[in-house]
C-alpha cells in the first residue's frame, strides 16, 4: 500500500472506533441497546459493532500484516474497555500499561474540590468508592508530571 492509502485507511478505522466509543452515553456505559436497534442485549450489540471494526481492519489492511496486527491490538483494547465497565475513570489494565494515567483519576479532583466527601469515601464510611486513593508519593509524582508538561509547553 502507498503511504497516502495507508493514512486514509487508518482514518477510516479511527472513525469507526470513534463512532463506537461515542456510544458510551447513549448505551449507558455500553450496558443498554440504543432505541431503535435490533439486538437482544448490549453484549450482542457492542460485539457486532466491534466485529464490524475488526472486519474493516482486516479488509483494508490485507497484505499489511504488521499494521493489521497493531490496529487489531487497538481494537482489542477498545473491546476490553467496552466490556469491562469500570466507573469512574480509566480501566485498570490501561493504568497498568501507562501508570501516568492515574494522574487523571477523579480522586484528585475530589480531594481538591470536595475534601470532606473524599475523606468519607477513603475511610470507607460511604457506599461509594473510588478506584484510586492517592498517597503522598502519588500526589507529588502527579504534581511533578503536570509541572513538567507546563514547563515544556506540551
* pLDDT one-digit tens code per residue, 8-33: 999 999 999 999 989 988 888 788 89
Phi-psi region of 133 (alpha: psi -120 to 50; beta: other; left: phi over 0): beta
**Secondary structure of 36-76 in the HEC alphabet?**
CCCCCCHHHHHHHHHHHHHHHHHHHCCCCHHHHHHHHHHHH
Q: What is the pTM of this model?
A: 0.63
CA distance 12 to 101: 27
pLDDT score at 85: 64
pLDDT score at 123: 94
Q: What does the CA dihedral 147, 148, 150, 154 come to, rounded to 10 degrees?
A: -150
pLDDT score at 88: 56
User: Hey, where are the domains in the chain?
Assistant: 3-85, 97-152
* pLDDT one-digit tens code per residue, 89-133: 667 878 888 899 899 888 999 999 999 999 999 999 999 888 889
Amino acid at each position: 500500500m502507498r503511504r497516502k492509502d495507508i493514512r486514509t485507511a487508518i482514518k477510516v478505522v479511527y472513525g469507526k472506533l470513534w463512532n463506537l466509543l461515542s456510544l458510551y452515553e447513549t448505551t449507558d456505559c455500553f450496558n443498554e441497546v440504543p432505541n431503535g436497534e435490533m439486538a437482544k442485549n448490549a453484549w450482542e450489540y457492542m460485539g457486532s459493532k466491534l466485529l464490524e471494526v475488526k472486519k474493516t481492519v482486516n479488509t483494508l489492511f490485507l497484505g499489511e500484516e504488521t499494521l493489521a496486527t497493531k490496529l487489531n491490538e487497538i481494537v482489542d483494547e477498545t473491546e476490553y474497555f467496552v466490556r469491562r465497565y469500570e466507573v469512574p475513570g480509566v480501566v485498570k489494565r490501561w493504568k497498568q500499561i501507562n501508570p501516568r494515567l492515574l494522574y487523571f483519576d477523579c480522586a484528585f479532583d475530589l480531594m481538591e474540590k470536595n475534601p470532606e466527601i473524599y475523606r468519607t469515601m477513603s475511610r470507607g464510611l460511604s457506599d461509594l468508592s473510588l478506584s484510586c486513593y492517592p498517597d503522598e508519593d502519588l500526589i507529588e509524582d502527579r504534581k511533578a508530571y503536570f509541572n513538567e508538561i507546563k514547563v515544556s509547553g506540551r
